[in-house]
Amino acid sequence: MKSLIAAFVVTLFATSAIAQSGCVPHADAMEVRAGTHSEERIGMGLSANGTLMEIWANHDTGTWTILRVLPSGIACIAELGSHFMLYEVTPGGAPT
């Protein structure tokens, strides 16, 4: 029971740290997105200024997060939300 409470407190503080500062080491951000929120990385790309942007989503709950990953290895939450939907894109680029 003590280990369950300890795990809950650690998860609470890890989630709280990301929410308050928005920036943590990339490995920590990935662990929270995948572990606590059961989100998976579904896409990534480079922004116009060369910053890596990652898209994370949970298809069951509909939560999503966009992480901005800096060259220093720090990841910052750019946006997050709910009601995520994924469209299939045909080769011509139009969603189906």
pLDDT score, position 1: 52
Percent of residues, the chain, with pLDDT higher than 70: 74
Query: Is 56 within a domain?
Result: yes
User: In the structure, what pLDDT confidence band is assigned to residue 94 with cuts at 50, 70 and 90?
Assistant: low
For residue 70, tell me if it sits in a domain. Answer: yes
Domain CATH for 27: 3.30.160
In a domain, 92, yes or no: no
Question: What pTM did the predictor assign?
Answer: 0.69
Domain extent for 75: 2-81
pLDDT of 87 reads 85
Least confident of 2-6, 64-68, 75-79: 2-6
Domain-located, residue 89: no
| Structural domain includes residue 87 | no
**What is the enclosing helix (H) or strand (E) of 8?**
helix 2-21
Structural domains of the chain, count: 1
Is the model's pLDDT at 8 over the cut of 50?
no
- Domain-embedded: residue 24: yes
Q: What is the pLDDT, as a whole number, of residue 75?
A: 97
Bridge partners (DSSP) listed for residue 67: 54, 77
